Amino acid sequence: MTANVQTGFFDFLDNIGNGLINGIKSVFNFLSSIAGRILSEFTSRHSHISYGFGSKSLSSGSIDCSGWVHQASLHMMREINAKHPGTFDIERANKMLSNGAAWQIESFQKAGLGLDPKSLHDGTAPIGTIIGIRRSNVPGWASGRPNGISHIVMIAEKDGKKYISESGGRGVKMTPYDEWMQKNSSTKLFPVNLLGLANTKGLENTATRQPVQTGPHYAPTQRAANDRPAKPGRIMPELAPPNKQTA
């Protein structure tokens, strides 16, 4: 192979590689934009819900931190599946998120979906990131938990800006991301990638051929048509009791 042909061949490979990378970025940006908007709208719609330690059901009028992350995550996945069937395996996600905060984070870490904590500080953590929190003084009820995690939140997006969505002392709320990070700058944080559960194959054509949809296209649905139906005798996710002790 001559030098010119060899150079041309490697340029060709580089172009293919760049094309694949750009394609992946396009799909992920498309998914992130949808997810961020759904999460922020869901948070705003439930801002009247108070915090309730051990509560996992929105219908009770209160919910704890892990219950909120569980319900918000499943809602986001159902909404996306309704428009792009098969993007998320709801049953798998439900199993990973149906425990207390520490075990939610652990399940994602075991699935290889842990993120570098530095991504939270440099702003590269993606929308949908779930963040486990270990306080400097671990509460007694949280001692012995994986990583000593006692609280959990997630990243949403509104008007192109990141926010933290959570259920805490003042109930369900959103806090500007930079403000939240400043308050938690010395806190031990454990981020995991919720959108890493997505099967993006079905989104490729949508992401590359049309702009991100807004407005009524992603209006909340009653329930995603392709959600797996509950098995006989199975409690639906929102009403299911936690497998491990709360928060």
pLDDT, tens only, 41-53: 999 999 999 999 8
Using an 8 Å Cβ cutoff, are 99 and 128 in contact? no
| pLDDT band at residue 148 using 50, 70 and 90 as cut-offs | confident
pLDDT, tens only, 150-206: 899 999 999 999 999 999 988 999 999 999 999 998 889 999 999 999 987 766 555
* Tokens encoding 9: 């061949």
Higher pLDDT, 95 or 5: 95
Does residue 219 register a pLDDT over 50? no
Using an 8 Å Cβ cutoff, are 210 and 84 in contact? no
Does residue 2 register a pLDDT over 60? no
